[in-house]
């Protein structure tokens, strides 16, 4: 059997919009309108998910990545 693990990634397509909202298993979140971009960010964990030095305008786990 495929035993459930804690490494779960989730993407919600927000009703009434074209926006996707991704939540990593580490708690980091991000929104995007392109599923390819969102998966790239999500699966790059931990890269870009937990900034080394949290700042006021960049809370832990919520750093925005440049769009490719």
Partner 1 sequence: MTAFAKNQWYVAAYGREIGRELLGRTFLDEPIAFYRAESDDQVIALADRCVHRRYPLTAGRLDGDTVVCGYHGFTYDTGGTCVFVPGQKRVPRTARVRSYPVVERDSLVWVWIGDPALADPGAVPRAPWLADPRWTTVGGMEPIDADYGLLVDNLLDLSHETYLHGGYIGTPEVAETPITTEVDEGAGVVRVSRHMDDAECPPFYARSTGIEGRITRWQDIEYHAPCLYLLHSRIAPVGVGPEPDGSDPNAFHVEITYAITPSTDRQVYDFWAVSRDFAQDDEEVSTFLHDLNRTVVLQDVAALNVLQKALDTEREGYQELSINIDTGGLAARRILARLAAEGEKTAPVVASP
From 14, 27, 44, 46, residue interacting with partner 1 (rule: CB under 8 A) = 14
From the list 27, 43, 46, 54, which residue makes contact with partner 1 (rule: CB under 8 A)? 43
Cα 30 to Cα 9: distance, rounded to the nearest angstrom: 12
1 binds partner 1 per the rule CB under 8 A: yes
The answer to whether the beta carbons of residues 23 and 9 sit under 8 Å apart is yes
Minimum gap (Å) between residue 14 Cβ and partner 1: 7
Burial class (CB in 10 A: 0-12, 13-18, 19+), 42: buried
Interface contacts to partner 1, rule CB under 8 A? 1-15, 18, 20, 33-36, 38-39, 43
């Amino acid at each position: 059997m495929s035993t459930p693990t804690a490494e779960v990634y989730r993407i919600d397509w927000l009703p009434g919009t074209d926006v996707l909202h991704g939540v990593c298993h580490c708690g980091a979140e991000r929104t995007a309108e392109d599923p390819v971009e969102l998966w790239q960010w999500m699966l790059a964990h931990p890269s870009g998910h937990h900034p080394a030095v949290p700042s006021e305008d960049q809370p832990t786990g919520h750093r925005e990545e440049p769009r490719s």
